[in-house]
Amino acid sequence: MSYSEFFKALGISAADRFAVKRFADASGVPVERLWHYNGSNAVPSGCDLDKVCSASGVSPIELMLKMGVLDRRIIKALKSKAEDVFALIQDDVERPRGRTEPQPAVFQTKLGRLYQGDCLAVMQSMGSDTVDLIFADPPFNLKKLYPSGVDDDLKEARYLEWCENWAAECARLLKPGGSLFFWNLPKWNTHISAYLNGRLTFRHWIGVDIKYSLPIPGRLYPSHYSLLYYCKGQKPNTFHPDRLPMEVCPACRADLRDYGGYKDKMNPLGVNMTDVWMDIAPVRHSKYKKRKGSNELSVKLLDRIIQMASEEGDVVFDPFGGSGTTYMVAEIKKRRWIGIELGPVDDIERRFREIDSEADYIEKIRRNYNSLFTEETLGIRRQLGLWTCESVRKTNRGAH
């Protein structure tokens, strides 16, 4: 159970199982459905809503207000009485925005500064409109054990409130035209996206195809992470996505689709990047992990984001350091960077000592972008007599 607003709204204590049972008997709604409404903070609908409201004497709108599930009708009514509502709630919601003194960085490079501490406290010491690109990969509230000992098992409502707090700070820190990317499970990003929609401009929900859990009975196999992409203001200052190689059979490098007469229409510089990324492998093998037990992200992912949404010299900020993937990629790509990690930072420092091998890796990845076939694929296709941009052009020239 993660929420308790439903029972609270009905005046029932969730700790009192008998009270829940009595309400089930009085309303005619089965106990397990009542627990479901409470656990997922879902307002009942249809017959259950009628039954719950008549047994409790709470009206549907009052129930929605008490559960914090507001539809556009309620929002419209609240807006029309905004001054009265504000007067009523002002003392509960208006907190002066705490500013904290800047603290010394625990690690510094030519281009970046790493702070150790709680991201909210550090962000509160940073100036508004100062960052060009933000990437955030927070804990997912999955009961994971992090070296920082952070509580990764918050109630859903508390987790989302925490996310809203740092997301609000991210929006404040972003320069007009700056870009923001939030990495999370689809379940959480549906909520975070709803929060961001009223503040920044939605660009994309990018599905990154990585299987992140084992198959769950009764559910679809979770196969993508959500990468939210927003910008501040009407459009991003920087947007240059790489073009990707055409997908071919990994074994024989033959076409996976029939391009028929369209081969000569294929751009030799590669295909347009879509909002579904299929080519980002998870960092699973311990040999490649820079930090034991961490859910470290792939260098390829950060390279793609930083390349797409920032220029050399821009400031990249990531409030959740982990093993420091963002910082290292930013440094290699000549961006300035600001980082924060609550837990130990020695893994990040160690990673910077081995930065050359990671730079080589990025160079290798980048060699495969912005051409229709990778060098390796092109060689194999030539050997096998499969079409290439050159061969198609030659054939076309011959035909004219």
Ligand X SMILES: C[S@@+](CC[C@H](N)C(=O)[O-])C[C@H]1O[C@@H](n2cnc3c(N)ncnc32)[C@H](O)[C@@H]1O
Question: Judged by CB under 6 A, does residue 358 bind ligand X?
Answer: no
Is the CB of 196 or the CB of 283 nearer to ligand X? 283
> Considering the complex, what minimum distance in angstroms separates the CB of residue 103 from ligand X?
13
Binding mask 150-169 for ligand X (x = CB under 6 A): x-------------------
Sign of CA dihedral 275, 184, 93, 124: negative
Position with the least CB separation from ligand X:
322
Which C-beta is closer to ligand X: that of 139 or that of 236? Answer: 139
CA 321 to chain centre: 14
Closest CA to 302 of 286, 318, 288: 318
Q: How far is the CB of 276 from ligand X (least distance, A)?
A: 21
Tell me, what DSSP letter sits at residue 76?
H
- Contact status: 180 vs ligand X (CB under 6 A): no
Are the beta carbons of 20 and 14 closer than 8 angstroms?
yes
Q: Which of residues 192-231 bind ligand X (CB under 6 A)?
A: none
Q: Looking at residues 51 to 90 of the shown chain, list those that interact with ligand X (rule: CB under 6 A).
A: none
> If you ran DSSP here, which 8-state letter would residue 247 be given?
P
Work out how close the CB of 57 gets to ligand X at its nearest, in angstroms, rounded to a whole number. 42
Q: Among 37, 181, 317, 320, which residue interacts with ligand X (rule: CB under 6 A)?
A: 320
Of 14 and 167, nearer to ligand X (C-beta) is 167
Secondary structure letter of residue 44 according to DSSP: P
Distance from C-alpha of 94 to C-alpha of 86, rounded to nearest angstrom: 10
Region binding ligand X by CB under 6 A among candidate stretches 54-62, 196-204, 246-254, 341-349: 341-349
Per-residue binder mask for ligand X (CB under 6 A), 19-38, x = binder: --------------------
Distance from C-alpha of 318 to C-alpha of 170, rounded to nearest angstrom: 9
Task: Give yes or no for residue 377 binding ligand X (CB under 6 A).
Answer: no
Residue 67: closest CA among 100, 39, 109, 47: 39
Cα→Cα distances 213→95, 106, 210, 217, 218, Å: 39, 35, 9, 12, 14
Contact 355, 323 (CB under 8 A): no
Binding of ligand X by 137 (CB under 6 A): yes
Interface with ligand X (CB under 6 A), residue from 280, 343, 366, 382: 343
Among 109, 125, 238, 294, binds ligand X (CB under 6 A): 294
Angle at CA 195, nearest 5°, toward 283 and 232?
80
The region of 54-62, 77-85, 339-347, 376-384 touching ligand X under the rule CB under 6 A is: 339-347
Find the binder of ligand X among 340, 345, 362, 378 (CB under 6 A).
340
Of 119, 170, 196, 308, the one binding ligand X by CB under 6 A: 119
* Residue 297 touches ligand X, criterion: CB under 6 A: yes
**Contact flag: residue 244 with ligand X (CB under 6 A):** no
Classified as helix, coil or strand, 119 is helix
Give the Cα separation of 286 and 292 in Å (integer). Answer: 7
Among 118, 164, 279, 349, binds ligand X (CB under 6 A): 118
How far are the Cα atoms of 51, 81, 157 from residue 191, in angstroms, in the given order? 28, 26, 10
Residue 331 burial (CB count, 10 A): 21
Total of chain residues touching ligand X, rule CB under 6 A: 22
Reported as type and span, the H/E element at residue 383 is helix 375-384
Q: Which region, judged by CB under 6 A, interacts with ligand X, from 35-43, 46-54, 229-237, 293-301?
A: 293-301
Phi, psi of 231 (to 5 degrees): -135, 165
Closer residue to ligand X in complex, CB, 245/319: 319
* Closer residue to ligand X (CB): 24 or 119: 119
Query: ∠ at Cα 184 (181, 185), nearest 5°?
Result: 145
Verify binding: residue 282, ligand X, rule CB under 6 A: no
Residue 178, classed as helix, strand or coil, is strand
Nearest to 23 by CA among 43, 46, 60, 48: 48
Using rule CB under 6 A, residue 132 touches ligand X: no
If binding is defined by CB under 6 A, does position 368 make contact with ligand X? no
Q: Which residues bind ligand X (CB under 6 A)?
A: 118-119, 137-139, 146, 148, 150, 294-297, 319-323, 325, 340-343
